[in-house]
Structure 1
Amino acid sequence: MTDHAAIPSPQTSQTAAQKPEWSVDLTAGAPCLHASGVWTVQNGGMLTFPPDGLSKAHSGATLNIDTDQLERWDSAFITFLWDVKQAAGKAGVIFEPDHLPEAAQRLLALLPDKPAGNSNAKKPPAPFLERVGDRTLNALTETGTVTELALETTKGAAQTVTGKGGMRLKDLASDIWNAGPSALLIVGIVNFLVGAILAFVGLVELRRFAAEIYVANLVGIACAREISAIMTAIIMAGRTGGAYAARISTMLGNEEIDALQVFGIPVSSYILLPSILSLALMMPLLYIYGTLIAIFGGFVVAMGMMSVSAIGYWTTTFDGVALHEFVFGFIKSFFFASFIALAACRVGLKAGRSAADVGIAATRAVVIGIVGIIAMDAMFAVIANALDF
């Protein structure tokens, strides 16, 4: 079937009766591709069609495919046909698959018309206003999502109080232990050292003005109003917030979240509510504990550097630190905890499903938590100044 104008296929080591062969007949009015033999991967059917194999065909002609001598075939034949289709498109020849086996036609239809482009090619940057608009919309969407998550959590907490919630008390107790008693050591150590450092720096400066006794007021007010709340929140953002994000992203990768949704179990009440509620309950208590430890750290340093009695130091502290300072720090700690837990849970839910995404989610939750804490503290400072609190 092949004459002097045909393009021969490469020779193989298979027998002549079964080896896959192809040729192109260009003598007739329309080019014709002849395929014969067993086109399987095991039989050496991974043949290639040259990109210029149809360059001598007339542009606009229709390429017919003769498969009368074709025996068995698999994906190797489909790959070859796809190469033929690309060569036909390059030469301006119409690829006609009607004479192919029906199964081959269906498989060939699943392949793209053209090879995929270079995914690494740099795309031109979008206009500035478009980028600003996209980021603004994304920020607003994320704010709405987190707000909705907070509302669902609040609703779930109210339902739990009335006995209609889907939260398991066992999960709440476990999260309370991890967010509270398990964090006492690290919270105590950090706040003790911060109080000691603050007392040392304060004594060095106040000694120049013969006002060493006021170091008790300095340590007490600074720790009760600002430092202990911020340091405790930062510790919990790194310790508990990162753990929440890693745990939820791991469940997402293991398809546990998908399984809960399939069974109709609300993720907000089953997983998120115990985490958020436990941290919101424990953080204010940890703040009180951290404040007392920080004041005690300042007391230890002051006793080593000042010639004042312990009773005098504690009396000055109690007289100088008003109760509303603790109330202010207590309120801030509650909002810090709620923000840390909500942000960590949201980051975990939107993480990827690979092992690397678990670490990325944990890191992102810690960074967002710390930055958010500082921003919220600045807002609280402005509000307190406006209310003269």
Structure 2
Amino acid sequence: MLAGDWRASDPALPVLEEGAFHSLRPGTPLTFDSTGLGTWDSGLVAFLWDIKRAAEAADTALDTAGLPPSASRLLGLLPDRRADPPAGPKPQPNPLARLGAATIDSLTETGIVATLGAQTLRGGVLALTGRGRMRWADILANTTDAGPRALLIVGVVNFLLGGILAFVGAVQLEKFAAGIYVASLVGIAMVREMAAVMTAIIMAGRTGGAYAARIATMLGNEEIDALGVFGIPVSSYLVLPSVLALTVTMPFLYLYGCLIGMLGGFTVAIMMLDITARGYLHFTVSAFGIGQFIFGLTKSIVFGAFIGLTSCRIGLKAGRSAADVGVAATRAVVVGIVGVIAIDALFAVIADVIGI
């Protein structure tokens, strides 16, 4: 029996329990008595639809003669069961399309970074002529953070690296009574490769991640938007001091790393091998020439500019949430380390071609 008002807005409308008609014998007709029914709307139709679907599931006949004619017509328009949602088209794996999209994205990002680098270089030239918008206080702050404050970790890592090279070289070269050449091994390895690469990796993790996190935080706080409103170019105000600080300090950190790495190799060699300090120094100096230093200095400058540009770019394209700041910092560290190694491999090929 249906009685009273049936409004969809009424929270007290009854709800049909699942399996309500399972106890009825199959074919038993269900009839309705709506003589006491008051006003109704879609709330009644929804309840009747539940009854209709439950009756269909229990193989029970439904007699709608006792319902109001309009409710009976509406109920007849509804299906016996809910339609299954249409299955979307299955994505077809297309390796070529994915490769093409990844290639286009990489080329686009490379172009953006190159454009940012050109804008930064132009801002640097304008700053040198007194027409730029770069603040020298920002240069000083970034240089202090990227240079003197990084001396400890750069020194520790390169000292240990030089000691490891000396230890490995001493173990092997002693077998051929050539232990004195440990000095040459440590010297050429630190000057040509290890000091520049390890210092760049340290700066990518220490300074590059900090740059990306700082700019991503400013983006989330809408400080970047405020700079755009005031017409202040981001490339001159934020990117240029960061890139310039790393580009200037990296050669000095490279020279410092070379010196500390050789000191670490000297310490281990003196402790393990029967050589004098004068002999070690002689073989160290004779192992490489000024060309090797110039090669290492060039790499360190390129590493510094690359880490600064990519870290700032990653910070500028980060999201605006707190989680995006961490993502940007992590991505800057990963891109910096992988990029430094890739650039070093390219320098190795160039050095082989020109005969350095």
TM-score (norm 2): 0.78
Partner of 1:285: 252
Q: Is the 8 A contact 1:167 1:270 kept in 2?
A: yes
Residue 326, structure 1, aligned to residue 293, structure 2: yes
Residue 157, structure 1, aligned to residue 110, structure 2: no
Partner of 1:185: 152
Partner of 2:314: 347
* Separation in 2, partners of 1:11, 1:374: 66
Partner of 2:326: 359
Amino acid at match of 2:110: T
1:147 Cα deviation after fit? 0.5
Taking structure 1 as reference, are residues 183 and 169 closer, same or farther at Cα in structure 2, changes over 3 Å only?
same
* Separation in 2, partners of 1:235, 1:11: 64
Partner of 1:76: none
SS for the counterpart of 2:286 is helix
**Aligned partner of 2:263 among 289, 296, 302:** 296
**Aligned partner of 1:258 among 225, 228, 231:** 225
Partner of 2:353: 386
1:8 Cα deviation after fit? 2.7
Q: How does 1:93-132 map to 2 (within 5 A)?
A: 124-125=91-92, 127-132=94-99
* Separation in 1, partners of 2:340, 2:98: 27
Bigger fraction of residues in strand: 1
Amino acid at match of 1:375: A
Q: Is the 8 A contact 2:6 2:44 kept in 1?
A: no
Residue 173, structure 1, aligned to residue 140, structure 2: yes
1:126 Cα deviation after fit? 5.1
Amino acid at match of 1:266: P
Q: Is the 8 A contact 1:344 1:365 kept in 2?
A: yes
* Separation in 2, partners of 1:22, 1:160: 80
* Separation in 2, partners of 1:122, 1:370: 40
Amino acid at match of 2:316: L
Q: Which runs of 4+ in 1 moved over 4 A?
A: 4-7, 10-14
Relative CO higher for 1 or 2, CA cutoff 8 Å, sep ≥ 6? Answer: 2
**Aligned partner of 1:244 among 194, 211, 215:** 211
Once the two structures are superposed, residues 338-386 of structure 1 have per-residue CA deviations (whole angstroms, 9 ceiling, x without a partner) of 1111111111111111111111110000000100011100000000000
Taking structure 1 as reference, are residues 199 and 263 closer, same or farther at Cα in structure 2, changes over 3 Å only?
same
Taking structure 1 as reference, are residues 256 and 125 closer, same or farther at Cα in structure 2, changes over 3 Å only?
farther
Taking structure 1 as reference, are residues 22 and 333 closer, same or farther at Cα in structure 2, changes over 3 Å only?
farther
Amino acid at match of 1:162: T
**Aligned partner of 2:46 among 45, 50, 57:** 50
1:130 Cα deviation after fit? 2.1
TM-score (norm 1): 0.72
SS for the counterpart of 1:352 is coil
* Separation in 1, partners of 2:47, 2:306: 60
State the aligned residue count.
302
SS for the counterpart of 1:290 is helix
1:194 Cα deviation after fit? 0.2
Amino acid at match of 1:141: T
* Separation in 1, partners of 2:112, 2:100: 18
Identity %: 55
Bigger fraction of residues in helix: 2
1:139 Cα deviation after fit? 1.0
Q: Is the 8 A contact 1:52 1:91 kept in 2?
A: no
**Aligned partner of 2:185 among 213, 218, 232:** 218
1:52 Cα deviation after fit? 7.2
* Separation in 2, partners of 1:22, 1:268: 69
* Separation in 1, partners of 2:44, 2:3: 19
Amino acid at match of 1:301: V
Taking structure 1 as reference, are residues 244 and 5 closer, same or farther at Cα in structure 2, changes over 3 Å only?
same
Q: Is the 8 A contact 2:134 2:236 kept in 1?
A: yes
1:282 Cα deviation after fit? 0.3
* Separation in 2, partners of 1:132, 1:22: 63
Taking structure 1 as reference, are residues 161 and 11 closer, same or farther at Cα in structure 2, changes over 3 Å only?
closer
Amino acid at match of 2:104: L
Taking structure 1 as reference, are residues 287 and 51 closer, same or farther at Cα in structure 2, changes over 3 Å only?
farther
Q: Is the 8 A contact 2:4 2:39 kept in 1?
A: no
**Aligned partner of 1:207 among 167, 174, 180:** 174
Taking structure 1 as reference, are residues 192 and 9 closer, same or farther at Cα in structure 2, changes over 3 Å only?
same
SS for the counterpart of 2:46 is coil
* Separation in 1, partners of 2:350, 2:195: 19
